[in-house]
Chain A
Amino acid sequence: MTDRLKKILLGEQGLVVIFVVAFALVSLLVPNFLTDRNMLGLLQSVVTVGIVACTMMFCLAARDFDLSVGSIVAFAGMVAVMASNTTGSILLGLIAAIACGAVVGWVNGVVIAKFRINALITTLATMQIVRGFALISSDGRAVGINSPDFYQLALSKLLGIPTPIWVLAVLFAIFGFVLNSTVFGKNTLAIGGNPEASRLAGVNVDRTRIWIFTLQGVVCGIAGILLASRITSGQPNAAVGLELSVISACVLGGVSLAGGRATMSGVIVGVLIMGIAENAMNLLNIPAFYQYIVRGVILLLAVLLDNLRSSALGRR
């Protein structure tokens, strides 16, 4: 009995099982949880984390790390708002924001891959530099959005579901496909599994890593735009600490920090578990201070579970 339970929990689909059980329990025990409105609210609350987790998954799978995502999201939001205010064109604003995200990501990638600086240190530096850019661009003040059309990015709905959730779903689908069905995805996993062997097998390791960070920047740009639209302004202090939530969600989703192991379904589940925990605690009126503790405990448990799973796999 315990053996079978172990097999289920530590197997490939263990996380999904835990998620389904947790979801069922919360639905039964927490009033007002399983309602249309709350479900949409829950999904909207995880949009930023979910979007950035798509590419953070690649980063971690390749044995890298990106701490600069929160700063890029804030900076991209500022750029989107300020560029569209100045030019009067929302499209130009969006392009500028995504381009800025891409440039920061590319710089991260080049410094890490070509100059062989540790990813943790590099992105710790760019995290602060880019936050500085965001603050300088508006002298530290929030910048309001002029055009009401910009709000519509976050407010509009398709088939009754808000646009940001659609964007999230589409990105999940795209990056799930990229991870499993493209050379880029397989190379990412191979690099994380054994970087030197991958290089000797003909994988262009440097180029792949630069692409991973550039994509990470692009995706942060998208997240920044949607966030700015939702809060109706560009906030230089937005998304502080986002990197930790995103990495937590990925680890929760079974992405190995040692590289080489990642699944899109796992990351989706990780993102949702974080969202559900927060949502349920809000519904239960648990004070915010206690929520920190719960989040930390969930993360620790997830890592312990991951550890158990790795050693179970190793024994096989």
Chain B
Amino acid sequence: MSFLEFSNITKTYPGVRALSDVSFGVERGAVHGLMGENGAGKSTLIKILSGDQHADAGAISIDGRVQAYGSTRNAFDNGVIVIHQELQLVPELTVAENLSLGRFPASVGVIARRRMLDDVGAKLKSAGIDIDMRRKVKTLSIGERQMVEIAKAVMLDARVIALDEPTSSLSSRESEILFALIDRLRGEGKVILYVSHRLDEVFRLCDSLTVLRDGKLAAHHASLEDVTRDQVVAEMVGREISDIWGFRPRKTGEVRLKVDNLSGARLRIPASFEARAGEIVGLFGLIGAGRSELMRLVFGADPCSGGTIVVDGEIVAAASPHDAIRAGIVLCSEDRKHDGIIQGRSIEENINISSRRHHTRFGVLNRASEIATAETFIKKLKVRTPSRRQDIINLSGGNQQKVILGRWLSEQGVRVLIVDEPTRGIDVGAKSEIYELLYQLAEDGMAIVVVSSELPEVMGICDRILVMCGGRISAELARDQFAEKAILAAALPDKKTPDAIAS
């Protein structure tokens, strides 16, 4: 039995099986890579390890003892530290204070500052971390903060340290310092779980590797000696494409949407692309590649700093979603809960919120038309609900998504439909209904942009794929050129890519 052992971990969220029967082990003094596409179950596994989520079945054991923790605090006490992408430090406190938080050396409530500095200094020195511990955390760079976060793990004498995409916001120099630190921790006999998208990092750092796919264990390599990168990519992607897509070829018309050198605060490299009437364009990339940022600029959700948007030959001044909608551009956001549904309000109101302006007179609602619109789209989109008056919060993810689509389909004159992760957290049945709807809308002449981090999805339903990586469009492929490896290669960042996306 290994030092850290996952046995038969299973976790189901409503409508989705996030992990099923995942088992593997990691030895002491090893850096173990955890790879997989978005949604493969990596984050869920880490959350279960940190005590943030509970597995429905299965167990985690450390050093032969089964962990029965029910909270992150328990995991902490058992020597498990998870370092998340969003760091958990107090910006206004100094490095030393952050590292002593919760365990201040004190007498009668007064912090023994000298002793605190000595303790922290000794630990930092032994771990080889070179940071001025009197500085406030808010003055540190992201990379330095990451070091402090790892120092926290060292301070706590962690036995298992899990790092979730630690280099996603680091420069290459900062990454090198991080790798040196990880090497040192390996030497001390810690178990390090390293979650990353970046193949070259995993091959440089890791002793062993687990690949997850669709919540299942796709591969486990106890050693990386005879493993090739292509093999790992194949393991990450490698599923046969079944026909849940139901792709139908269409005739495409004139260019409907033309985006020219568009840039903004969160997308510094200007991006250009176009979409034709009747065309479904996929926008693929890893999380943080800048896909949603680009689409938010097109929709006017974020202010753009340069470039133009042209719809049917006319320049659109989309300073706000309000303007974009009037120009015929609509967006279904990635984060349904935060950016899509209006909690506490009915399905009827959620559908009518935008399109009602076509039916009002002097700002007074036309009740009959609102009811008719709601009923029409509940029926047309097969929203499963007892009544149009139901609070949208009570619907499943797929049905909420349909209501948001209904919101835009009830608009008149939509010319460009952007859907960001349209099927995230949605079961297979609802998925193919949504695909079918997209085909119909394209046949009616809309230009559709589908943003997705699920490669099979964009390959299954799109006429053309744009790949984004590190804030720029890195590849464009027509349907007859679709190849998983080529697309994934264009999406995986390599070291030379500048940090184009501001953190």
Contact = CB atoms under 8 A, between A and B. Distances in A.
Interface string A259-270: 011000000000
A6 to B, nearest CB: 19
Contact of B342 (A193, A202, A256, A313): A193
Nearest to B366: A181
A203 B364 contact: no
A194 B343 contact: yes
A271 B424 CA distance: 46
Interface residues of A, number: 25
B407 A193 contact: no
Contacts of A203: 322, 353-354
B62 interface: no
Interface of A: 181-184, 186-187, 189-190, 192-194, 196-204, 256, 260-261, 313, 316
16 contacts: A182-B364, A183-B357, A186-B352, A189-B345, A190-B349, A192-B344, A194-B342, A194-B343, A198-B342, A200-B299, A200-B301, A200-B333, A201-B321, A256-B344, A260-B343, A260-B344
B240 interface: no
B394 A316 contact: yes
A205 to B, nearest CB: 9
Counting chain B CB atoms within 10 Å of each CB, which of A183, A200, A260 scores highest? Answer: A200
A204 B353 CA distance: 11
A101 B465 CA distance: 56
A190 B345 contact: yes
Contacts of B301: 199-200
Given A183-B360, A186-B349, A196-B338, A202 B354 contact: yes
Contacts of B331: 200
B341 interface: yes
B339 interface: yes
A184 B356 CA distance: 11
Interface in B14-42: none
Contact of B341 (A183, A192, A197, A204): A197
Nearest to B299: A200
B364 A181 contact: yes
Contact of B321 (A184, A192, A193, A199): A199
Nearest to A180: B365
B356 A186 contact: yes
Interface string B303-338: 000000000000000001110011000010100001
A182 B343 CA distance: 19
Contacts of A201: 321, 342, 353-354, 407
A190 B342 contact: yes
Given A183-B356, A200-B301, 11 more contacts: A189-B345, A190-B345, A190-B349, A194-B341, A197-B338, A197-B341, A203-B322, A204-B320, A256-B344, A260-B343, A260-B345
Contacts of A190: 342, 345, 349, 353
B270 interface: no
B363 interface: yes
A186 B407 CA distance: 15
B367 interface: yes
A184 B391 CA distance: 20
Contacts of A202: 321-322, 325-326, 353-354
Contacts of A204: 320, 322
Given A184-B363, A200-B321, A193 B354 contact: no
A260 B367 contact: no
A199 B352 CA distance: 14
B340 interface: yes
Contact of B344 (A187, A193, A199, A316): A193
Interface in B361-419: 363-365, 367, 391, 394, 407
A313 B346 CA distance: 13
Contacts of B365: 181-183, 186
Contacts of A193: 342-345
Contacts of B391: 313
Nearest to A187: B353
Nearest to B353: A201
Given A182-B364, A184-B363, A190-B349, A200 B344 contact: no
Contacts of B353: 186-187, 190, 198, 201-203
Nearest to A261: B344
A306 to B, nearest CB: 13
A197 B342 contact: yes
Contacts of B343: 193-194, 260
A181 B356 contact: no
Contacts of A196: 338-339
Nearest to A185: B365
Q: Looking at B299, B325, B344, B367, which has the most chain A CB atoms within 10 Å of its CB?
A: B344
Contact of A200 (B340, B349, B357): B340
B363 A183 contact: yes
A184 B357 CA distance: 11
A201 to B, nearest CB: 5
